[in-house]
Structure 1
Amino acid sequence: MAPEEVTYDVVVVGSGGGGLIGAYVAASRGLRTLVIEKTGLVGGTTAYSGAGLWLPGSAPLRRAGIAEGAGEARKYLRGVVDDGSREKLQAAYLDAGPRLVDELERNRWFQWFVHGPVPDYYPDRPGASISGRTIFPPEIPAADLGGHASLVRGPIPAERWGWEQGPVLNGGRALVGRALAAFLETGNGSLRVNTALESLVVADGRVTGVSAVSDGVPVVFRANRGVLLAAGGFERNDELREKHQPVQARGEWSNGAPGNTGDALLAGIAVGAATDLLDEAWYVPGLVQPDGLPVFQSGLRGGIWVNAEGERFVNEARPYDQAGHEIARRHVDTGISHIPTHWILDQRLIDRDGFGGPPDQPVRPEWLESGALRKADSPAELAALIDVPLDALSRTIAEFNGYAETGIDEKFHRGESPWDQMFHHIVPFPYLPELSYPAKPSPEWPNPLLLPLDTPPFYVATIVLSDLGTKGGLKTDEHARVLRPDGSPIEGLYAAGNTAAAMSGRVYPGAGTPIGSSLAFAYRAVLDIVAQGDIGG
């Protein structure tokens, strides 16, 4: 029996930020638009995030008093990416961001984005902004979304440990909830969850739809105008990771959504698409939790990281993508194991900042009972606990304690950059904003990010190489059209988000680049679809 066939103007594969925003932009222009989602919940990795959007020149920045021409952001972006082949993508991104925000803010569901003062991640590069170019969606009560709220994927603590989600959606969940409501409110939008992409439908060299399995039933969704692949990366596919990525990074260590197994990537490759950056990911340090799996760690205010030789190797507070890449690079290049990395703390730091929660609460017992946090009474016991040379570990601790006395980390300069200095004041929990709290000052020490390790007992936690998703994918042009190896576009096929190779190449310019890129190029895709007219017949 032939599968059911249903026809739309646009079919969007994936329901993260880029997928839903692209779908809204299409539906708001009168195009009959379908979003298919592999899992039972919408939001993808966006729902786990803080929903930062690195969108230079956008209206929320101007409202915050940050006025700059596009030239400064362009100079910065080109400088940090340093890849001439991506300059057209960068120009398209910088052009699309402000226009998209203006369009979204005309809709009641998106009023109003706000600026968050997160410094650009390379503050010493020309054009960098110390105040940052990142905007965030406002939170929204679940009650305002009605039944739509129950469709939005929960944050990691809710999914992993059953924590209550509360009556308000914030961060990525707020962005997803707002986008879903706006999309369905157009009257031109349809959503199918539990619907997995199987392959792309091609006629005369043009993508004309998708074959999928919806609630176990094969179905073909025809797309008269175009197909947008925005289904995340392949971070949960160990086979693809082992094939393309040189560093040990297990899919279960990822902070990407569980359905991100590369289905859209493979479907694109099957119809002749070129790929790029498949060896890359949005790497981040992952703090192993009592359940044995990590959660993205955005930075730290105290303690040190050491490798298998008992040596520090990085500014532990630097931007998370840079820290994650340094773990990966040293693990591959030096022949010394950096996975896992050992995070060493002492009682002084635990007393000041707590661990895994506010500082006025004790360490929760499951951390120690599970071994996710281990305790030692002396450096010798600590060295034996993590199996590193005692002499090297003792030298490392003594050197660090000397830096604490002077306030200057002569080796890695922790506490000197604008990003680091954010941690003087706030300890952020990216998935648990309700647990963010003002940090206790350390007036007796000149650099609050450098407290000495001299107060037993000592503790050690485990850091592994995690990620926010892979960042390599289908090669696209400035209109988000998927390209063949010869550079020609595959008609009718578009990609955005982590399904596409990153506009920013191998770097992470500022907070919100991944989701900002996803939204901007989904927008560019729909603008191109509209410009092409009715081409499906």
Structure 2
Amino acid sequence: MPGPEPIYDLVILGSGAGGFAAAATAACRGLKVLLVEKADTFGGTSAISGGAVWLHGTDQARAAGVEDSPAAMRTYLQQVIGAGYDPALVDAFIEQGQHALRWLEQHTELRYSLRPHSPDYYPDLPGATESGRALEMVEYDGRQLGTRFKDLAMPPPGMLLFGGMMVNRVDIQHFLNLRRSPASLWHCLKLMARYARDRLHHPRGTRLTTGNALIARLASSAFAHGAELWLRSEAQALIVEQGVVTGVQVLREGRTEQVLARGGVVCAMGGFAAGALAATYRPSTGALHLSMSPAGNDGAALRLGQALDAAEGEGLAANFFWAPVSELQHADGRRERFPHLVTDRAKPGVIAVAANGRRFVNEADSYHHFVQRMFANGIGECWLICDAQAMNRYGLGLARPQPVDNRALIEAGYLHRADTVAALAQAIGVDPHALAQTLEHFNADARNGADRAFGKGSNSYNRYMGDPQHQPNPCLAALTRAPFYAIRLHTGDLGSARGLVTNAQANVLNRCGTPIPGLYAVGNDMNSMMNGTYPGPGITLGPALTFGWLAASHIATRLQTETPTCTTN
């Protein structure tokens, strides 16, 4: 006979940043916690993300003397979000985000540092800042996870070096400068030595950065305080008693189990960007669209919520967080995707053109804006083009800068190489006359340091993303040195923005606007408080941590538990 249903204080569906923020908070406050994860590994989209958070008034910003105000941040968000601005959610995010981060850093392994200079994505709008809101994840030793390290989701190979070495934004800059700076050379040699030692005992490097470090830090703390994790387990239905969500039905190892939750259930399953539902909510260009969202992110929270008449977001500026993505097909048929976020588009000597050979966008603007311009122009795919100098210095997508040999990418058809602009145009099917004319105009502007057509390098965010050592404009250089290179970019996304509507405690609301007792949503399962806009780096993870902490705190308070003293490992 089956045993009694397991009883927990809190059941969390999903294991990304929002889910683990809730899990670590609840576990540290003495609650019995279970995380249910469909995949073979934990971490979801968060584990392969950049790991940055965008928050107001953090201790890190205050310590650096950053001048910012809640009013300025509200003004900026009102300007970017527009009609979808929700004062209650924005106020909770602005006011509670700093407290959430402080609590998590005091009670868990979570650690962030301030990016010294990181402009908001629309730096010329009222309320924007040049620094103070973006925080960078501090690296972490994956060995602290013990036997769970093998279960942590691994970033795609294209986001790693030497087959398994993680790097962050600072590391990338050092690798780009290693031939120009003794300090950068020393930094890279130390990283490679650590990686070589790791590979003697581990399948990949144990020095974790970015989103992998974020998940590992929260997970190690949650596990240390008793949180359980079920992998390869899928939520099938919510258990509801007299209108209150009291548990979940889980398919685990081929058997259905009833799991009870005294305090409620938190949906943190990553949204719906990878499922069949996604196509119905994005513009159609007739071309291939590529999502970076894991396959399991198929809209399970929306399906669970429908049974309770849960409200879903409507009329968002975008239903997804966009990013251009390229794809490599390996000889064995495996497909590898690469999101073009920070490493190439803004760099000098790089431009994007449509099939007609014409530019259509400021290549140095945010990845979200880049794809918005693709959709606005009816472009399903485009080409990122550079010359030999840019390739040697910065690389292009999965192609690495010198001294890496990229011939395998050329043979695979991912990277196109030609000795002349006309030959490159023919190879990629672009109008050769138009491409030559585009380069003529762009090169003239690049030599003068001002892009008259689209303003590449014209604002502080653009210049921050360029090459600070290149003058007079960090984003502009003429494409003149053969050979020339190109890769195909597709419209893509980093995840969905449309989700379950919640209040400021992350409690899901029904279609009448009333909270559904015991049901919460965080991360990409929560309807984006940014309304499908992208104001700055970390605008998904900042709210995920904030509302994950708020949800768990709300549940803990409701259960009238006392907060024990938590110690970190």
TM-score (normalizing by structure 2): 0.84
Out of 366, 370, 384, the residue aligned to residue 323 of structure 1 is 370
Residue 254 of structure 1: aligned partner: 291
Counterpart code for 1:126: P
Identity %: 33
1:179 and 2:209 matched = no
Q: Which amino acid aligns with 1:321?
A: H
Alignment of 1:207-356 (within 5 A): 207-237=245-275, 239-248=276-285, 253-277=290-314, 280-289=319-328, 291=330, 292-299=335-342, 300=345, 301=347, 302-331=349-378, 338-355=379-396, 356=398
Paired residue type of 1:186: H
1:374 CA displacement: 1.1
Deviation, structure 1 residue 39: 1.1
Write the distance in 2 (CA, Å) between the matches of 1:159 and 1:212. Answer: 33
**Contact 1:78–1:87 (CA under 8 A) maintained in structure 2:** no
Unaligned runs of 5+ in 2: 165-203, 562-569
Query: 3-state SS of the aligned residue for 1:459?
Result: strand
C-alpha contact (below 8 Å) 1:229/1:495 kept by paired residues: yes
Deviation per CA, 1:156-200: give whole Å up to 9, x if none: 11899992231211111111111111112223x221111111111
User: Superposed, which structure 2 residues align to 1:380-529 within 5 Å?
Assistant: 380-425=422-467, 441-442=469-470, 446-529=472-555
CA distance in 2, matches of 1:228, 1:340: 37
Asked if structure 1 preserves the Cα contact closer than 8 Å seen for 2:142 and 2:206, the reply is yes
SS at match of 1:461: strand
Q: What letter matches 1:242 in structure 2?
A: A
Task: Tell me what 1:36 maps to.
Answer: 36
Please state whether the residue corresponding to 2:473 is helix, strand or coil.
coil
**Counterpart Cα distance in 1 of 2:340 and 2:21:** 27
Residue type at the aligned position of 1:394: A
8 Å CA contact 1:288, 1:461 repeated in 2? no
Alpha-carbon contact 2:84-2:531 (below 8 Å) kept: no
AA in 1 matched with 2:216: G
CA contact (8 A) 1:60 1:115 kept: no
1:196 partner amino acid:
E
CA contact (8 A) 2:319 2:496 kept: yes
Would you say the 8 A contact 2:122–2:461 is kept in 1? no
One-letter identity of the residue aligned with 1:11:
V
Partners of 1:249 and 1:130 in 2: CA distance = 38
- Give, in angstroms, the shift of residue 459 of structure 1: 1.8
User: Aligned partners of 2:56, 2:70: CA distance in 1, in Å?
Assistant: 7
Distance in 2 (CA, whole Å) between partners of 1:362 and 1:47 is 27
Q: Retained in 2: the 8 A contact 1:249–1:466?
A: no
CA distance, structure 1, for counterparts of residue 557 and residue 85 of structure 2: 25
Q: CA contact under 8 A between 1:195 and 1:212: conserved in structure 2?
A: yes
**What whole-Å deviation, never above 9, does each CA across 1:310-366 have from its counterpart, x for those lacking one?**
1100011111111122222322xxxxxx22111122223223434446533144221
Q: How many angstroms apart in 1 are the aligned matches of 2:295 and 2:269?
A: 11
**Alpha-carbon distance, 1:138 to partner:** 1.3
Measured against aligned partners, the alpha-carbon deviations of 1:226-260 in whole angstroms (never above 9, x if no partner) come to: 111011011111x2022222235999821112321
Equivalenced residues, count: 511
Counterpart of 2:230 (choices 192, 209, 213) is 192
SS of the equivalent of 1:344 reads strand
Counterparts of 1:5-16 in structure 2, within 5 Å, are 5-16=5-16
Counterpart Cα distance in 2 of 1:347 and 1:241: 38
Distance in structure 1 (CA, Å) of the matches to 2:239 and 2:288: 29
1:139 is aligned to 2:147: no
- Among 165, 190, 201, the alignment partner of 2:239 is 201
Structure 1, residues 470-512: CA drift from partner, whole Å, max 9, x if none?
A: 1111111112111112211211111011011100012111110
In 2, Cα distance between equivalents of 1:88 and 1:202: 28
Describe the superposition over 1:268-308 as per-residue Cα deviations: whole angstroms up to 9, x where unpaired.
Answer: 12321111157611100113335454311114213211112
Separation in structure 2 between the aligned mates of residue 68 and residue 160 of structure 1, nearest angstrom: 35
Measure, in 1, the Cα distance between the counterparts of 2:139 and 2:341.
Answer: 21
SS at match of 2:540: helix
Structure 1 119/290 Cα, relative in aligned 2: closer, same or farther at 3 Å? farther
Q: Which amino acid aligns with 2:234?
A: A
Residue 120 of structure 1 deviates from its aligned partner by: 0.7
Greater CA drift, 477-486 or 252-261:
252-261
Secondary structure of the residue aligned to 2:338 is strand
Deviation of residue 112 (structure 1)? 5.3
Of residues 100-109 and 48-57 in structure 1, the stretch that sits farther from structure 2 once superposed is 100-109
Q: What is the aligned partner in structure 2 of residue 433 from structure 1?
A: none
1:449-478 Cα shifts (integer Å, max 9, x gaps): 222223333221111112111111111111
Could you tell me how far apart the structure 2 residues matched to 1:62 and 1:319 are? 27
Structure 2 CA distance for partners of 1:330 and 1:166, relative to 1, 3 Å:
same
Please give the secondary structure, in 2, of the residue aligned with 1:349. Answer: helix
Two-structure CA RMSD over aligned residues (Å):
2.5
Structure 1-normalised TM-score? 0.89
What CA distance in whole angstroms lies between the structure 2 residues aligned with 1:228 and 1:142? Answer: 26
Supply the AA of the counterpart residue of 2:149: A
Q: Which residue number in structure 2 is paired with residue 436 of structure 1?
A: none
* Whole-Å separation in 2 of the counterparts to 1:476 and 1:154: 31
In structure 2, give the amino acid aligned to 1:166: G
Query: Bigger CA drift: 377-386 or 196-205?
Result: 377-386
Q: Which residue of 2 aligns with 1:366?
A: 408
Instruction: Give CA-to-partner distance per residue, 1:21-40, whole Å, 9 cap, x none.
Output: 11111122222111111112
